[in-house]
Amino acid sequence: SVVRQPITNHLDSSYFGEISIGEPPQKFLVLFDTGSSNLWVPSTDCKSPACFNHAKFKPSASSTFSPGGRSCTVSYGSGSVTIALGWDTLRIQSITVTQQEFGLSQEEPTQPFYFADFDGILGMAFPSLAVGGTATALGGMLEQEQLAEPVFSFYFSRQPTYEYGGELILGGIDPRLFQGDIAWAPVTQKLYWQVALEEFAIGQSVTSWCSQGCQAIVDTGTFLLTVPQEYLESILEALGAQETSYGYAVDCADTHSKPHIAFGIGGARLALPPTAYVLNSHGYCTLAMEGTYLPSQDGQPLWILGNVFLKEYYTAFDMANSRVGFAPSA
Contacting other proteins within 56-95 (CB under 8 A): 77-78, 92-95
Tell me which of 60, 164, 180, 267 binds other proteins, using CB under 8 A. Answer: 164
Least distance in angstroms from the C-beta of 198 to other proteins: 20
- Sequence-ordered strand ranges (E) for 171-273: 183-186, 194-197, 199-202, 205-206, 214-218, 225-228, 242-244, 247-250, 261-265, 268-272
Least distance in angstroms from the C-beta of 60 to other proteins: 28
- Sequence-ordered strand ranges (E) for 34-182: 39-42, 66-75, 80-92, 95-107, 120-123, 151-156, 166-170
Least distance in angstroms from the C-beta of 107 to other proteins: 17
Q: Distances from the Cα of 174 to the Cαs of 117, 148, 151, 185, 330, in angstroms? A: 27, 13, 11, 19, 10
Least distance in angstroms from the C-beta of 6 to other proteins: 6
Q: Distance (Å, rounded) from C-alpha 231 to C-alpha 213?
A: 14
39 binds other proteins (CB under 8 A): no
**Residue 268 or residue 272: which is nearer to other proteins going by CB?**
272
Contact range with other proteins by CB under 8 A, out of 49-57, 157-165, 204-212, 254-262: 157-165
Residues from 266 through 285 that contact other proteins (CB under 8 A) = none
12 is catalytic: no
For residue 118, the Cα-to-chain-centroid distance in whole angstroms is 13
Q: Distances from the Cα of 244 to the Cαs of 231, 241, 282, 284, 288, in angstroms? A: 18, 9, 16, 11, 13
The residue from 33, 88, 119, 318 that is catalytic is: 33
**Residue 74 or residue 201: which is nearer to other proteins going by CB?**
74
Burial class (CB in 10 A: 0-12, 13-18, 19+), 55: middle
**Residue 59 or residue 228: which is nearer to other proteins going by CB?**
228
Tell me which of 12, 23, 45, 107 binds other proteins, using CB under 8 A. Answer: 12
**Residue 60 or residue 164: which is nearer to other proteins going by CB?**
164
Binding mask 196-235 for other proteins (x = CB under 8 A): ---------------------x-x-xxxx-x---------
Residues 37, 41, 46, 50, CA torsion sign: positive
The residue from 88, 119, 219, 318 that is catalytic is: 219
List active site positions: 33, 219
